[in-house]
Amino acid sequence: MEHIVIIGNGISGVTAARHIRKLSDKKITIVSAETDYFFSRTALMYVYMGHMKFEHTQPYENWFWKKNRIELKKGYVQSIENKNKTLHFSDGETLNYDKLIIATGSKPNKFGWPGQDLEGVMGMYHKQDLENLEKYAPNNKFCKRAVIVGGGLIGIELAEMLSSRGIPVTFLVRETSFWNGVLPEGESQMINRHIKNHHIDLRLSTNLKEIKADEAGKVNSIIIQETGEEIACDVVGLTAGVSPNIDFIKDSEIEIGRGVKVNRYLETNIPDVYAIGDCAEQHEAIGQRRPIEAVWYTGRMMGETLAQTICGNRIQYKPGHWFNSAKFFDIEYQTYGWVFSKPRENEAHFHWKHTDDTKCITVCYDTKTNEFLGINTFGIRMRHDVFDKWLTEKRNVDFVMQNLSKANFDPEFYKHYEQDILNTFNKNFIIA
């Protein structure tokens, strides 16, 4: 019986395993050094905040794996020997495979800051990071202040986590406005204000120079590059993005760039070795996507696709229309299609913001054809399937604005803003 070994028990690896099981009777083993069972990485924050216990983040009960004959092995893979199709573990054990799926995800970026490996300095990605945070920031008596470096999705989640326990947070953001490499200006500014409303000390256009330690080798303070200001703190969160977690592959023959290089079939240069999820890097970007997509949904889709290939139906990874979502403290964010931070050539943005400063949308369209290209929505839930359909049908922006209520996904009895949005849109157009 063919033995499929998957390194990594995150959403990509587990989705691949589940779909391979649906399609075949192959022997499946999932290897992980992080946890015994699959958990939702995006939910780790809620464990620290006390919304959930760790076991609640596990989507399947523990009996699920045995019942579906998916073997789980806890261990750290040190190296891959392609010739004999053997994995070598850090404790000396070995495991043979017929087909290997690398789904090892990401690790937090570190940019060589002095002091970046001190005690009390951590990323927020692995379960071990959560345990570390619990150790160094259990409450606001033990941790008087935390500094977060890097204004992305994980940074703002870490800020929310720490502030849920009343720990003062200084949030260093390199950019002139929060996440404005991705979000258009109006949205980014609104989130800036929302962050400050949550009493976070938000420092824009601010870089970290170094992290200083006390005598015991634990974080004591940080120095800001621009001003030289020293901020006393007990915890430093490094959240300046993530990169593929592939150090153990470097000595193998598998081709790597920033991630494991794969073709559209998610195959590496070595036969029977595949890579999916955060750690996979496409030779060429697909459409407007990045070559490495460190997103929950794309990891899942790659797992679904690769399961087909492994089970004899070799197909390309062809993701549909881009979508994503996040939550910035209390403001939910969803995006469908492409809305870049600044309109590109032949593109224009329409921006609407509610006076309460917690809801806004940005619609991107083609100025020549009027084709609807994408929408960002904050504080208003919208329907994925409706936008997916409209994008496929290449609807024009007027149609989308007039039918926006069909896409509304807010709970019943919520106030609707479609008319207000449409009025603003029409007014803008008359002036233009």
Nearer to other proteins, 212 or 381 (CB): 381
The only residue of 382, 397, 401, 421 in contact with other proteins, by rule CB under 8 A: 382
The only residue of 301, 310, 361, 363 in contact with other proteins, by rule CB under 8 A: 301
For residue 142, what are its two tokens? Answer: 């033990």
- 210 HSE (CA, 13 A, CB side): 5
By CB under 8 A, residue 290 contacts other proteins: no
Nearer to other proteins, 129 or 366 (CB): 129
Name 26's Cβ contacts closer than 8 Å, sequence gap at least 6: 1, 2, 3, 4, 20, 310, 311
Alpha carbon separation from 25 to 22, 73, 368 (Å, rounded): 8, 19, 53
Minimal distance, residue 222 CB to other proteins, in Å: 22
The only residue of 144, 318, 394, 427 in contact with other proteins, by rule CB under 8 A: 318
**Beta-sheet strand order (sheet of 86-89):** 77-81, 86-89, 94-96
Minimal distance, residue 274 CB to other proteins, in Å: 16
Contact 191, 155 (CB under 8 A): no
Stretch that binds other proteins, among 201-209, 242-250, 265-273, 380-388 (CB under 8 A): 380-388
The only residue of 76, 142, 399, 429 in contact with other proteins, by rule CB under 8 A: 142
Contact 50, 160 (CB under 8 A): no
Binding mask 57-86 for other proteins (x = CB under 8 A): xxx-x-------------------------
Minimal distance, residue 356 CB to other proteins, in Å: 9
The only residue of 114, 166, 217, 257 in contact with other proteins, by rule CB under 8 A: 166
By CB under 8 A, residue 289 contacts other proteins: no
Name 384's Cβ contacts closer than 8 Å, sequence gap at least 6: 323, 334, 336
Residue 421, H or E segment: helix 418-431
The only residue of 3, 21, 49, 89 in contact with other proteins, by rule CB under 8 A: 49
User: Restricting to residues 383-422, which ones interact with other proteins according to CB under 8 A?
Assistant: 383-385, 388, 392, 409-415
The only residue of 3, 26, 165, 209 in contact with other proteins, by rule CB under 8 A: 165
- DSSP-based three-state secondary structure for 109: coil
Stretch that binds other proteins, among 118-126, 200-208, 236-244, 292-300 (CB under 8 A): 292-300
Measured CA angle at 333 (ends 422, 320), to 5 deg = 90
Binding mask 327-366 for other proteins (x = CB under 8 A): x-xx-x-x-----------------------x--------
State which amino acid sits at residue 309.
T
The only residue of 25, 93, 117, 131 in contact with other proteins, by rule CB under 8 A: 131
The only residue of 138, 181, 217, 257 in contact with other proteins, by rule CB under 8 A: 138
Nearer to other proteins, 345 or 356 (CB): 356
User: Restricting to residues 10-29, which ones interact with other proteins according to CB under 8 A?
Assistant: 11, 19, 22
Say how many C-beta atoms besides its own lie within 10 A of residue 327's C-beta: 15
Q: How far apart are CA 176 and CA 377, in angstroms?
A: 22
- DSSP-based three-state secondary structure for 391: helix
Nearer to other proteins, 56 or 344 (CB): 56
The only residue of 296, 352, 417, 425 in contact with other proteins, by rule CB under 8 A: 296
Nearer to other proteins, 330 or 420 (CB): 330
Nearer to other proteins, 42 or 225 (CB): 42
By CB under 8 A, residue 316 contacts other proteins: yes
Minimal distance, residue 207 CB to other proteins, in Å: 29
Q: Whats the size of the chain, residue-wise?
A: 432
Count Cβ atoms within 10 A of the Cβ of residue 61 and give its class: 0-12 exposed, 13-18 middle, 19 or more buried. exposed
Nearer to other proteins, 388 or 398 (CB): 388
The only residue of 119, 201, 272, 304 in contact with other proteins, by rule CB under 8 A: 304
User: Restricting to residues 204-243, which ones interact with other proteins according to CB under 8 A?
Assistant: none
By CB under 8 A, residue 124 contacts other proteins: no
By CB under 8 A, residue 265 contacts other proteins: no
Measured CA angle at 185 (ends 372, 393), to 5 deg = 10
Q: How far apart are CA 387 and CA 372, in angstroms?
A: 10
Name 211's Cβ contacts closer than 8 Å, sequence gap at least 6: 113, 114, 115, 116, 118, 121, 219, 221, 222, 223, 236
Q: Using CB under 8 A, count the residues that bind other proteins.
A: 74
**Chain centroid offset of residue 359 CA:** 22
